[in-house]
Amino acid sequence: MRLIVSGGGTGGHIYPALALIEEVKKQEPDSQILYIGSTRGLEKDIVPQRGIEFKELKIQGFKRSLSLDNIKTVSLFLRSVHDSKKIIKQFKPDIVIGTGGYVSGAVVYAANRLHVKTMIHEQNSVVGLTNRFLSHYVNKIGIAFKVAASQFPKDKVTFVGNPRAQQAASVVSHFKWSEYGLNDDQPTVLIFGGSQGALKINESTISAMKEFSKRNYQVLFVTGQNRYQTVKTELGNQQLGKNIVIKPYISNMPEMLPKVSLIVGRAGATSLAEITAIGIPSILIPSPYVTADHQTKNAKSLVDGKAALMITEDDLNANSLVEGIDELMHDDHKRNEMAQNAKKIGVPDAATRLYKEMRSVIDK
């Protein structure tokens, strides 16, 4: 297979793309793969490190308010379409797939104009602007949340899940809590606001530390790299219980997740793919700062499936955080039920499903 993949800006678009590439290489080891990303997104650093051929385009997103900057956006988009056509003609792909982000809009649209077969993957319950645009031009659309189907032309949509889930489900974990100075036989809750941390989650956790220090469960609090020093400063000389560990970042998160009794954090598509594939009970605190409030809608899919509790950011404080965690950490039966419900929602073979749909488009 000759495959062009495009997706960028955030990890939510990049990691599903990388999971798909991994599956393609597994199924068809002789495949030639090219990743096209943006000059500004995280993909320009992440993708080349994986040994994947990478080309970049200069592109930016639209401002949602009236702005002269949108004139530049249109100009960059048209230029990126032109540049994408040249790359596509040279590479001669069997198919081009976009996983979201503005750069994929130019690449997939260019492929359509050249009559190359195309596909997109939508990770969220609320469809992004780029994929809404591309849905009219592609051959097939893969979705990770069934509720997204109604936002696309129904004859093109197929439910595949999030490819990142398959990577999470396949990890063989040898992790032990003792690596972090904790007890391997004690239930542990992970509080994690993402790689950059989340201010309100951090503030509420700091305020709850005295209560957490009294509990018979353990707490691993991951602050985010840029917020770690602020958290340590705000805690000052406060004596924490031996059941609490604070870290700025966890590099081996996939190995750790199977050992987590409860996870508290945001409701991004990648996070939910991982925790449903593994089967982890969760308390979800959706970010209110994302497009179309899609994290709330992501979270509701787990809440409705009785796999998670949800606390809105407006309702989040030390008391609501402790009460929510206590409710689950003091009830093994409820956590086990939620874990089983999470697994029912998860799609542990999502990358294989997406690969098969992509192959069907090529072979049609």
CA pair distance 251, 347, nearest whole angstrom: 24
According to the model, what pLDDT value does residue 62 have? 61
CA pair distance 355, 22, nearest whole angstrom: 10
Tens-digit pLDDT profile for the chain (364 aa)? 999 999 988 888 999 999 999 999 999 999 999 999 999 888 999 999 999 999 999 986 665 555 556 667 788 889 999 999 999 999 999 999 999 999 999 999 999 999 999 999 999 999 988 999 999 999 999 999 999 999 999 999 999 999 999 988 998 899 999 999 999 999 999 999 987 789 999 999 999 999 999 999 999 999 998 899 999 999 998 999 999 999 999 988 889 999 999 999 999 999 999 999 999 999 999 999 888 899 999 999 999 999 999 999 999 999 999 999 999 999 999 999 999 999 999 999 999 999 999 999 999 8
Q: What is the 3-state secondary structure (H, E, C) of the chain?
A: CEEEEECCCCHHHHHHHHHHHHHHHHHCCCCEEEEEEECCCCHHHHHHHCCCEEEEECCCCCCCCCCCHHHHHHHHHHHHHHHHHHHHHHHCCCEEEECCCHHHHHHHHHHHHCCCCEEEEECCCCCCHHHHHHCCCCCEEEECCHHHHHHCCHHHEEECCCCHHHHHHHCCCCCCHHHHCCCCCCCEEEEECCCCCCHHHHHHHHHHHHHHCCCCCEEEEECCHHHHHHHHHHHCCCCCCCCEEEECCCCCHHHHHHHCCEEEECCCHHHHHHHHHHCCCEEECCCCCCHHHHHHHHHHHHHHCCCEEECCCCCCCHHHHHHHHHHHHCCHHHHHHHHHHHHHHCCCCHHHHHHHHHHHHHHC
Q: Which residues contact 363 (CB under 8 A, 6 or more apart)?
A: none
CA pair distance 159, 157, nearest whole angstrom: 7
10 is in an annotated binding site: yes
**Strands across the sheet containing 53-57:** 53-57, 32-38, 2-6, 95-98, 118-122, 140-143, 157-159
Region(s) of the chain under CATH 3.40.50.2000: 2-162+348-363, 170-345
According to the model, what pLDDT value does residue 59 have? 81
- Positive or negative torsion for Cα 177, 182, 186, 187: negative
120 is in an annotated binding site: no
Single-letter amino acid code for the residue at 202 = N
CA pair distance 6, 247, nearest whole angstrom: 33
CA pair distance 278, 165, nearest whole angstrom: 8
The tokens of 298 are what? 């992501």
Output the CA–CA distances (angstroms, integers) from residue 58 to 9, 16, 110, in the order listed: 12, 22, 15
Single-letter amino acid code for the residue at 2 = R
According to the model, what pLDDT value does residue 42 have? 87
According to the model, what pLDDT value does residue 291 have? 81
Q: Which CATH superfamily is domain 170-345 in?
A: Glycogen Phosphorylase B; (3.40.50.2000)
12 is in an annotated binding site: yes
Give domain 2-162+348-363's CATH architecture.
3-Layer(aba) Sandwich (3.40)
11 is in an annotated binding site: yes
The pTM for the full model equals 0.87
According to the model, what pLDDT value does residue 252 have? 85
What is the bridge-based pairing of β-strands 95-98 and 262-265? unpaired
195 is in an annotated binding site: yes
Q: How many CB atoms lie within 10 A of CB 151?
A: 17
